[in-house]
Amino acid sequence: MLNLNADFKARAVELPELFREVFTASESEDEGRAVSALAADLLNTTPDDDLLGVLAMDRDVLVGCILFSRLHYDQDPRQVFLMSPVAVRTDRQKSGIGQKLIGFGLEQLRLHGVDFVVSYGDPAYYGKTGFQTITEEVAQPPMPLSMPQGWIGQTLSGDQKPIEGPSRCVSAFNRPELW
């Protein structure tokens, strides 16, 4: 039985290794190290109010994780979060865990009053959970995007208006090579 968000703080030490394994297998060893370092940095430097982690557990085995971090738009009162990184163990992929994990995470954000969620990924995959390709006019990213077609988002509050002004990300994402 899949248990979502089971005791995040107690399992946080395992997360960088999960991200390293998944991204090494799907991309490269360098990408695995980079995403692992990003996850560790997010977990170690992001204030609790600016970070939400969602886990997928199968009994006592960690099978997936998503980290959501706040994006600050000083000219807009809405709460916006960035969904990244996302990982499901390679031996458990293509079983619906990723979509369940994303759906659960979005519902947790909605319950916490978050208005909009963005990510930077494959629109075909993330479209299955309500994300759509957006432009920088809808929500300005904190850094120039190397692949603007991967800038995706969705409203959680129903407010379809563009988000006003420039954005600031948490310190772990404040690196141009990530964008």
Render pLDDT for 92-112 as a digit per residue (tens, 0 to 9).
Answer: 999 999 999 999 999 999 999
The token duo for 91 is 């031996």
Does the pLDDT of residue 4 top 90, yes or no?
no
pLDDT at 36: 97
Place of tokens 């920088």: 136
pTM of the full predicted structure? 0.93
Rounded to the nearest integer, the mean pLDDT of the chain is 93
How far apart are the C-alpha atoms of 84 and 57, rounded to whole Å? 19
Does the pLDDT of residue 18 top 90, yes or no?
yes
Q: Which CATH architecture has domain 2-178?
A: 3-Layer(aba) Sandwich (3.40)
Average pLDDT over residues 20-49: 96
Q: Is the peptide bond before 85 cis (omega within 30 degrees of 0)?
A: yes
End-to-end CA distance of the chain: give it in Å, rounded.
36
Place of tokens 């006019």: 137
Residue with the larger pLDDT of the pair 1 and 100: 100
How large a percentage of the chain has pLDDT more than 90?
Answer: 90
